[in-house]
Amino acid sequence: MNKSDLISGSAVRLLVSLALAGFYLHMQFSLPASFSVFYHLGFGVAGIGSFLLFRNKESAAVPRLLVWIAAMSTCLAPLLAGLLGIQNIVLLVVTGLLCGGGALVLFSQLFAELCSYPTETAFDLVLLSSVLEPVFRLALIPVDMVSPKVSLAIFCVVPLAVAALVQKPQGSVLRHGEEAGRKHVQPSSPRRSSFPLGTAGVAAEIVLFGVIFGIMHFATSDVVLQPFAIAHVLQILIPALLLAWLHTSARKESRNFAFKLAAGLVLVAYFATIFFGDARQSAIPVSVILICDVVSAFFLLTFYHTVKVYGKNPLMVFGLGRGLFELSLVVGILALETPFFGVVSQATDGVIYFGVIIAVLIMINRFLLIVKMGTSASPLEEKSGINDALRKRCTDLGAAKNLSERQMEVMFLVCRGFTKSVIAKELYVSESTVRWHVKQLYNKLGIHNKQELIDLVEGRS
């Protein structure tokens, strides 16, 4: 991992934004179920709409004004459902749909910005945000115990904070950025392969998990801000362990084994505390919250992998994936109201335990796939690790020659010997765009070929 990328101002800003977004999505489960149905419905419908709207487009950016409008509409959830209360059914439906749709617009922009980062940095950001989000929630617990209205007021501010932090996706994500706007440049669209059959399995997992979590939604709404220390600690530890696991998997086997052992001990301690302590009654809701948080992070990384590998629009991928989850969640919540489920659930608790087991299996499957994605470096990362010395020389030369950030990145990759097609795939741009960058780079530096560029960077000319 290039630590300078992770601790840069833009990366830290995105990290905080992702953590706040996760905090907001998690806190939605503390709102009244009647409002949640329409919120999740609005989120899901907006997600499918985003998929249909952006599936044949390259731009991942939306007008800045729309982002702020989305943030304002997203504030309607805690404001109206929590602080003021909603009595009118029409107002309930309208505000729920607007809030869910606004959340989709706001958080899909975060995902699009995430896709502008290299694979390793993006994985680190998502996992670190999963560690930070429960910390925010823990900090809110004492506030909620003193004054629930104050905690809801803080909740209202979160979407506005995310809107202030989120930035327009860079040109490296999609081609309606700076380079595509130049009239004398007409880059061809990147070759987009169709979704492979494997993504159908991911969609099935999303739908199944959404339905299961919707059915168990009633078990979580009352414990989101309860001081169950074991749940919050685990929500911090599990992403942290996965992050450490990914960064040691290529090192000594003994270290890799140590983290596997640590992960196993954490789970053993969890189940021992829950089922042999005094917390049996909270076992189901705590487990549901924990699994939902972890699986949500895993699905987000899966969406990122789909964008990077198959050249899909981030707004299309996030809209489809999150839309399927939200609509499935609505199906699960509504299933609670059916006479059949009422009879079954009264007869035995086995239905709930069965749902937890299925959710755990989905979490384990996603975990194994994420480990594989994280340890299988991209073509740019497989040949050699990030060469910090070379990157520094390219950065210094770029600063001296007043090069753009994108030109410095292309210069760094060219100096490492990668072809234009590989660079185009990694940066999610067309090969013609890479060629244009290289041409502009040569013109600014007064050179004519790759060897002269390498000599210049190495200080041999």
In this predicted structure, the answer to whether residue 428 has a pLDDT above a threshold of 80 is no
CA–CA separation, 10 vs 118, rounded Å? Answer: 13
Q: What is the pLDDT of residue 87?
A: 64
Query: Do 252 and 329 reside in the same domain of the chain?
Result: yes
Query: Do 326 and 444 reside in the same domain of the chain?
Result: no
Q: What is the pLDDT of residue 372?
A: 67
- What average pLDDT does the segment 384-397 reach? 72
320 pLDDT band, cuts 50/70/90, is: very high
CA–CA separation, 344 vs 412, rounded Å? Answer: 61
Q: What is the pLDDT of residue 210?
A: 87
Q: 140-154, 319-333, 335-349: lowest mean pLDDT where? A: 335-349
CA–CA separation, 236 vs 127, rounded Å? Answer: 10
- Token look-up 């996992």 returns 127
Show the domain range for 88.
Answer: 9-171+198-376
Last residue of a domain, one of 339, 361, 376: 376
153 pLDDT band, cuts 50/70/90, is: confident
Q: What is the pLDDT of residue 43?
A: 92
What mean pLDDT value characterizes the chain? 73
Write the CB contacts of 8 (distance below 8 Å, at least 6 apart in sequence).
none
Last residue of a domain, one of 376, 399, 414: 376
Query: Do 330 and 440 reside in the same domain of the chain?
Result: no
* Residue 83 in domain: yes
CA–CA separation, 333 vs 339, rounded Å? Answer: 13
Write the CB contacts of 204 (distance below 8 Å, at least 6 apart in sequence).
none
Q: What is the pLDDT of residue 190?
A: 38
Q: 119-123, 176-180, 215-219, 409-413: lowest mean pLDDT where? A: 176-180
- What average pLDDT does the segment 408-422 reach? 83
Query: Do 417 and 304 reside in the same domain of the chain?
Result: no
Higher pLDDT, 41 or 431: 41
Query: Do 305 and 385 reside in the same domain of the chain?
Result: no
Instruction: Quickly count: other Cβ atoms within 10 Å of residue 433's Cβ.
Output: 27
- What average pLDDT does the segment 193-203 reach? 63
Cα 21 vs. chain centroid, distance in angstroms? 9
Write the CB contacts of 240 (distance below 8 Å, at least 6 apart in sequence).
127, 131
3-state secondary structure 355-383: HHHHHHHHHHHHHHHHHHHHHCCCHHHHC
Q: What is the pLDDT of residue 131?
A: 86
Q: Using one digit for the tens of pLDDT, what is the confidence trace for 57-83?
A: 766 677 888 888 888 888 776 666 555
- DSSP conformational letter for 222: T
Query: Do 357 and 385 reside in the same domain of the chain?
Result: no
Q: Are 401 and 444 spatial neighbours (Cβ–Cβ below 8 Å)? A: yes
Q: Are 103 and 70 spatial neighbours (Cβ–Cβ below 8 Å)? A: yes
Query: Do 63 and 96 reside in the same domain of the chain?
Result: yes
Q: What is the pLDDT of residue 392?
A: 82
Q: Are 106 and 70 spatial neighbours (Cβ–Cβ below 8 Å)? A: yes
Q: Are 102 and 74 spatial neighbours (Cβ–Cβ below 8 Å)? A: yes
CA–CA separation, 119 vs 125, rounded Å? Answer: 10
Higher pLDDT, 353 or 165: 165
Higher pLDDT, 31 or 434: 434
Torsion sign across C-alpha atoms 15, 19, 20, 21:
positive
Question: Residue 412: is it exposed, middle or buried by C-beta count within 10 angstroms (0-12/13-18/19+)?
Answer: buried
CA–CA separation, 329 vs 323, rounded Å? Answer: 10
Q: What is the pLDDT of residue 6?
A: 59
Q: What CATH number is associated with residue 431?
A: 1.10.10.10
Q: Are 171 and 436 spatial neighbours (Cβ–Cβ below 8 Å)? A: no
Domain count, the chain: 2
Torsion sign across C-alpha atoms 363, 33, 321, 240:
negative
Task: Report CA-CA distances (Å) from 69 to 51, 75, 96.
Answer: 20, 10, 15
Last residue of a domain, one of 331, 347, 376: 376
Predicted TM-score (pTM) of this structure: 0.69
Q: 118-122, 175-179, 237-241, 342-346: lowest mean pLDDT where? A: 175-179
Q: 163-172, 193-202, 409-418: lowest mean pLDDT where? A: 193-202
* Residue 184 in domain: no
Q: What is the pLDDT of residue 180?
A: 30
